[in-house]
Structure 1
């Protein structure tokens, strides 16, 4: 995910749109050694799939995203 969140599907959310909230997100991620990009991808994936009754294959995608932390 790019640092320029206007290009992502999370750009309208306060954690990315509000500079102060985004700084808090970055601090918490840093404290817990979780890349902001990982959180961004997980939230974007959830938003993409929220309208589906069954999110087939979502667990595999979660594993793929979280695998990027290693």
Structure 2
């Protein structure tokens, strides 16, 4: 998988990353729920990477790996 998918700049065209107020809200919600913003970033990146596929095989396993990073 290309490391650029996990670069937040890859998501800058999405409003939640492009808009500073939305980004602060995301950070606040993540902090309140003990979910690292990086986990959300990776989940969205994986979904975005595979959105063109008719069947995104293995995506659930990848999501489980990412969610496993939450302590």
Q: TM-score if structure 2 supplies the norm length? A: 0.85
Corresponding residue for 2:65?
64
- Larger fraction in helix: 2
Task: Extract unaligned runs of 5+ from structure 2.
Answer: 1-5
Number of residue pairs aligned between Structure 1 and Structure 2: 66
Q: Please tell me whether residue 40 in structure 1 is matched to residue 41 in structure 2.
A: yes
Number of the residue aligned with 1:31? 32
- TM-score, normalised by the number of residues in structure 1: 0.86
Q: CA RMSD in A?
A: 1.2
In structure 1, runs of 5+ residues without a counterpart are: none
Structure 1 runs (4+) greater than 6 angstroms displaced: none
